Amino acid sequence: MSRLAVVCGGSRGIGKAVSRLLAERGCRVAVVSRNKDVAQATVASLHGDEHLAFSCDISKEQEVQKTFETIQKTCGNISYLVNAAGINRDGLLLRTKPEDMVALLHTNLLGSMLTCRAALRSMLHGQGAAIVNIGSVVGLKGNSGQCVYSASKAGLEGFTRSLAKEVASRNIRVNLLAPGFIHTDMTAGMREEALKRSIPLGRFGEPEEVARAVLFLLESPYITGEALVVDGGLQLAM
């Protein structure tokens, strides 16, 4: 039987590229998104016909629990979980509203915690599984104007490394992938020409390139608790 992969935020950007690549590799893909219509459109574009779409706000515990229970009942035990859902609201800390802080932390950090916890209940019944959380290079290095976003992604790194230690004995691996500037909706408004000067490879990355790195971590049986940076050699101002 093919492996079941759950991709949260799997209907756009990096998550969509991951969904497509996993489907091409023979996985059954459960695409999870806040927008059910967009998730269904993504599923319709995937290779094969075993894939399903689910609507879920990962920042809400009850929605996550219900969604993952439905996924397991409908599709079986989860082999792969990719947490690619995330939001970004840039701004200096002094100008950041508390409600924006809460929204960033709830989606980018708490959301991944909730989905990991829900997926583990299914993964424990399998013969080995893997989780990849999508962080950010700014969570490792920091960046002016992104204090809260950086904090949410830095927290995700600590969570990933700690969870990897908790579940390693059950042959479940947990890793973080930290992209730099990638061509997605989130980077659409950035000054690309100026930013490219800080990237030795001289360009933004593509979602498909990040997806290949995600696949590498999912399929590498002796890597856990690590953070893999995919940023073209980005040099952020310190």
pLDDT of residue 195: 79
The answer to whether residue 235 is domain-embedded is no
CATH code, 10: 3.40.50.720
- Give the residue from 19, 201, 109, 225 showing the smallest Cα distance to 117: 109
Q: Provide the annotated active-site residues.
A: 149
Specify the amino acid at residue 139: G
Residue 71 has pLDDT above 60, yes or no: yes
Residue 188 has pLDDT above 60, yes or no: yes
Residue 192 has pLDDT above 90, yes or no: no
Domain limits at 221? 4-230
The answer to whether residue 129 is domain-embedded is yes
Contact (Cβ atoms closer than 8 angstroms) between residue 50 and residue 28: yes
Residue 238 has pLDDT above 60, yes or no: no
CA–CA gap between residue 42 and residue 105 (Å, rounded): 26
The number of domains in the chain is 1
Helix axes 13-24, 207-219, angle to 10 degrees: 50
pLDDT of residue 1: 61
CA separation, residue 149 to residues 66, 75, 89, 233 (Å)? 27, 34, 7, 21
Summarised one tens digit per residue, pLDDT across range 98-111 is 999 999 999 999 99
